[in-house]
Each structure stands twice: as structure tokens, then as C-alpha cells.
């Protein structure tokens, strides 16, 4: 076969080489590290192989906190951002004047730097000595007490993080969904109108099934993206995430490698493999659900 397709393999070679060296090899390596106890990258030695790394990681409170944070983030932001994006896209598709302006506004977060946005969120949510921050000013106006959203209670921090995540992932989803909505043939709507279908029925019986592959795509990538959350958390809460109680799984992996208490590639690898297992499981469940509910024309 190789002889027959020699030319094809030759063309593929650069990609295969790069992918092999920078994707496949590290992946395999991470898998091996995760079973090597006390691996030292400087001396390239370990004490032996076994499941100790996994046992350690799964018993560590920081890791469990990170898993909890990540799951809460995923469960809140994926449905919320997808649903909200759908709402905005439908609204955008049904207005004519100023549509381009609104599209641009909604797309802005996508092209804005994460850390810059983080700074803006700090100004919005962080109470300072001389001013309470915009959000707290509003809370005060309604007679509430000042809440420290950045260094305060857990739920407040989680609220800001979720809010931020939804806001950041929204533009891409809106972009995908508006183009999906635009690609539904006008004739289906005409036919439905002649058939006497109400607006809500047209939406649920025709529009939604016709764009369901795109919604499904967004849900899957949304899950994966939210499970990999890290830079957003740093932008909001700084690098001392364990202390803030706001670490994520990816943050934990990073800390294990390069953090102040880091230098443990074996633990980091084990955590990474656990993350991989979680994402894989969720994606498989998603695929199974979608097989019943997604309509591919």
C-alpha cells in the first residue's frame, strides 16, 4: 500500500512529522509519566511504576477543589451560553436595521485580549478603597451591601467567573448560529406559513431541528472548552488560584509543573490523564444523546 500511495505519503510527511513529534509523542509520554512514580525530569529517573500518582492526585484537596470548580463552571456556562447565543442569533436574524452594528458589538469580545477583558472585569467587580466598582455601586443603589466579587465569598467569585466565561464564549457561538440560521432555506418558512404554523411552532419544529447539528457542535466544543478553562481564571483571580480556592483542573496541572509548589511532572501527568478521561466520557455521552436528537438532513 505504501508503494502504491507513495506520493500521498510524501505529501503528508511534513504534517505527520510535526504531529508525531509535537502531538503524538508528548501524548504517549504524558501517559507513561502518569504511571512513573516520582519521575525527575532532570535526572530522567523514577522510583518505579504504579498507580500512586493517581491515588495522590485524587486525594489531594486542591485537586478535588479544582475538579469541583471546573464542573460547576461547565454545568453553568455551557447551557447558559448556548441558550443565550441562540436567543441573540434568532433576534439578530429577525431584525433588519442596525443588524451589522449589533453583530459587530456582539463579536467584540472574540477579538479582545483575555487579560484586557480581565482588567475590565476587575474594574467592574472589585471594590477598591476609594470606589466600590460599578457593579457594587448598582448593588448599593438598590440598597444592598458591598460584595467583594474577586476576593470575597465563593459563590460571588464563581458568579463572576461564569459571567465572564459566558460573555467570552458568546461571540463565537452567535457567529456560528447566525450563519446556521441564515442557511435554512427561505422556502421552508414560506411553506410553514402557508400551512398555518405559528411562529413558536415554526421555531421549535423547523428552525431548531434544521440547525441542530450546529447546536450540537457548539455543545460539544463548549464542554471541551469549559473543561480546559484556565487563562480566564488567571485573568480574574491572579496566579495564586489554590489560595483563592478558584483553581481549575488545567490550573492544577500547570501548578504541579511550574507553580511555586510545582516540579511534579508525574502528578501533573496523572491529573492530565484524568481530565482527558472526563472529557472523553462527557463527549461520548454527548454523542449518544445527539444520535437521537440531532437531525442531519
Partner 1 sequence: MKISLEHLTKIYPNRTKGKPDVIAVNDFTFEIPDGKLVGLLGPSGCGKSTTLNLISGLEAPTSGRLFFGDDDVTNLPPERRGVGLVFQNYALYPHLTVLQNITFPLENLKGEEKLSKAEMKEKAYEAARLVQIENLMERKPSQMSGGQQQRVAIARALVKKPRVLLLDEPLSNLDARLRLQTREEIRKIQKETRITTVFVTHDQEEAMSICDEIVVMKDGIVQQISAPQTVYDDPVNLFVATFLGTPEINVFTGRVADEQLFIGDEAVLPRKGVADQPVYAAIRPEGFIPDGDGPFSMDLVRVEVLGRDTSVVSGHPDARNLSVRSIISSDTKVDPGQARIRFSLKPWKVYIFNRDTEERIYPQ
Q: Which residues bind partner 1 (CB under 8 A)?
A: 185, 187-188, 190-198, 201, 205-206, 209-210, 212, 295, 297
Q: What is the sign, positive or negative, of the torsion defined by CA atoms of 91, 96, 102, 103?
A: positive
- Smaller CB distance to partner 1: residue 2 or 95? 95
CA–CA separation, 205 and 184 (whole Å):
13
Tell me if 195 sits within 8 A of 205, measured CB to CB.
no
- Smaller CB distance to partner 1: residue 209 or 262? 209
The CB-of-106 to partner 1 minimum distance in angstroms stands at: 25
Cell of residue 76, nine digits: 453553568
The CB-of-195 to partner 1 minimum distance in angstroms stands at: 4
> If you count them, how many residues does the chain have?
297
Which residue bears the cell 489531594?
Answer: 60
Dihedral class, residue 185 (left if φ above 0, else alpha if ψ from -120 to 50, else beta): beta
The CB-of-202 to partner 1 minimum distance in angstroms stands at: 10
CA–CA separation, 31 and 36 (whole Å):
9
- Smaller CB distance to partner 1: residue 155 or 188? 188
The CB-of-296 to partner 1 minimum distance in angstroms stands at: 8
The CB-of-144 to partner 1 minimum distance in angstroms stands at: 46
- Smaller CB distance to partner 1: residue 189 or 230? 189
- Smaller CB distance to partner 1: residue 123 or 191? 191
Residues 6+ positions from 142 with CB-CB distance below 8 Å? none
The CB-of-181 to partner 1 minimum distance in angstroms stands at: 15
Cell of residue 27, nine digits: 501524548
CA-based R_g, the chain, Å = 24
Which residue bears the cell 451591601?
Answer: 145
The CB-of-199 to partner 1 minimum distance in angstroms stands at: 12
Element (H, E) at 136: helix 134-141
CA–CA separation, 27 and 159 (whole Å):
34
Q: What is the sign, positive or negative, of the torsion defined by CA atoms of 287, 288, 289, 293?
A: positive
The CB-of-200 to partner 1 minimum distance in angstroms stands at: 11
- Smaller CB distance to partner 1: residue 28 or 191? 191
- Smaller CB distance to partner 1: residue 68 or 201? 201
What's the distance, CA 289 to chain centroid? 20
- Smaller CB distance to partner 1: residue 158 or 197? 197
CA–CA separation, 166 and 81 (whole Å):
5
Amino acid at each position: 500500500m505504501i508503494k502504491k500511495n507513495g506520493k500521498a505519503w510524501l505529501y503528508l510527511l511534513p504534517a505527520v512529522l510535526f504531529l508525531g513529534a509535537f502531538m503524538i509523542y508528548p501524548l504517549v509520554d504524558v501517559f507513561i509519566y502518569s504511571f512513573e512514580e516520582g519521575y525527575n525530569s532532570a535526572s530522567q529517573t523514577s522510583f518505579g511504576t504504579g498507580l500512586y500518582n493517581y491515588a495522590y492526585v485524587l486525594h489531594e484537596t486542591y485537586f478535588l477543589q479544582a475538579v469541583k470548580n471546573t464542573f460547576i463552571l461547565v454545568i453553568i456556562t455551557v447551557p447558559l451560553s448556548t441558550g443565550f447565543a441562540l436567543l441573540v442569533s434568532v433576534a439578530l436574524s429577525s431584525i433588519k436595521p442596525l443588524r451589522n452594528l449589533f453583530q459587530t458589538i456582539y463579536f467584540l469580545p472574540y477579538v479582545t485580549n483575555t487579560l484586557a477583558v480581565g482588567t475590565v472585569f476587575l474594574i467592574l467587580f472589585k471594590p477598591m478603597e476609594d470606589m466600590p466598582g460599578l457593579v457594587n455601586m448598582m448593588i448599593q443603589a438598590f440598597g444592598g451591601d458591598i460584595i467583594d466579587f474577586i476576593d470575597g465569598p465563593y459563590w460571588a467569585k464563581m458568579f463572576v467567573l461564569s459571567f465572564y466565561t459566558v460573555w467570552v464564549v458568546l461571540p463565537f457561538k452567535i457567529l456560528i448560529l447566525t450563519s446556521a440560521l441564515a442557511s435554512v432555506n427561505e422556502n421552508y418558512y414560506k411553506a410553514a406559513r402557508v400551512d398555518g404554523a405559528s411562529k413558536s411552532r415554526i421555531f421549535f419544529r423547523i428552525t431548531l431541528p434544521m440547525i441542530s447539528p450546529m447546536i450540537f457542535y457548539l455543545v460539544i466544543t463548549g464542554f471541551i472548552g469549559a473543561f480546559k478553562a484556565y487563562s480566564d481564571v488567571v485573568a480574574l483571580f491572579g496566579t495564586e488560584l489554590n489560595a483563592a480556592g478558584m483553581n481549575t483542573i488545567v490550573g492544577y496541572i500547570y501548578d504541579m509543573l511550574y507553580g511555586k509548589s510545582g516540579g511534579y511532572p508525574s502528578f501533573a501527568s496523572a491529573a492530565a490523564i484524568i481530565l482527558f478521561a472526563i472529557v472523553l466520557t462527557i463527549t461520548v455521552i454527548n454523542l449518544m444523546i445527539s444520535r437521537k436528537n440531532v437531525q442531519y438532513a
